[in-house]
Structure formats: C-alpha cells, structure tokens
Amino acid sequence: MIKSVQLKPLDVNMPCELPTYVYGNGVEKYTLIATVPGDYKITLAKLTIGSSMSGTTMLSHAMFESYSEHGEKMSEAKIRISGCERDFMAVKNVMSKVGIELESIAPCHFSVLLSALGAYYQAVNPEISEYAVVSQRCH
C-alpha cells in the first residue's frame, strides 16, 4: 500500500494547526506507535481529522505529522478538501504532502493507511517489533 517514504524536512517557521472551528464539530485523532528494543514506545505518525461547512459544502480537514522510524518529528502538513470520499482523499493527500507515496488503492478507513505505514516502517527498521494505531474522538 505504501510505495515509498521520503519525508520532507520540518519547517519550524510554519506552524501547522487545524482551524479552531473544526474542533467545534469534534475531531478524531489517530497515533501510529511502535515498540522498539527496551520495550520503548515511539511515535511514527499523528493524524487529526475533522469537518466543517462552507456554505452548503461539507469539508474534511486533515493534519498529519510524520516521524522517522526512529521517532524524530520530520514534517507536518494540513489540507482541506470537499467531494466524494472526502475523508479518505484528505488523508491520502495530506500524507502525500509530507512525502509518503501510496500505491493506487480503493478508498478505505484512514486507520488502514496508518497501519500500512507502520508495516512499511517495520520492514525498513527491524528494531520495530510491533506497531499499533490508537484513536481518540474529541468533542
């Protein structure tokens, strides 16, 4: 599912946040964590997704924070999108903005994309013994 990962450098001068009005509608947060030697947990990615209305158009907002397979923050991006499969497309496009190239895939839940990223990292870093996607709904 993941074709390649060429993470873009973090631009500390460009803070990345979702608009505050998105949080009023509730957001979902997903974190991809991995276990490494010593039973340490590291973060590999964070995804925040929410929605808003612009006139009569429903929009999906996604913010993605990427980390190296060693747990160092690498890049972050956000996107806003409308249309069919807007949640999936928002996540797919925001992952692309940070340098994660996906194979052509049918729309799926974004936790599947994060799990695929975990599998990719585990394949390139044998020190990762396991990975998991944890989620939280914020109101």
- Say how far apart CA 66 and CA 44 lie, in whole Å: 6
pLDDT tens across 14-29, in order? 667 888 888 887 899 9
Q: What are the boundaries of each domain within the chain?
A: 2-8+17-138
pLDDT tens across 56-94, in order? 999 999 999 998 777 788 899 999 999 889 999 999 999
For 19, 20, 52, the CA distances from 24, given in Å and listed in that order, are 10, 7, 9
- Say how far apart CA 58 and CA 46 lie, in whole Å: 23
Total-model pTM: 0.90
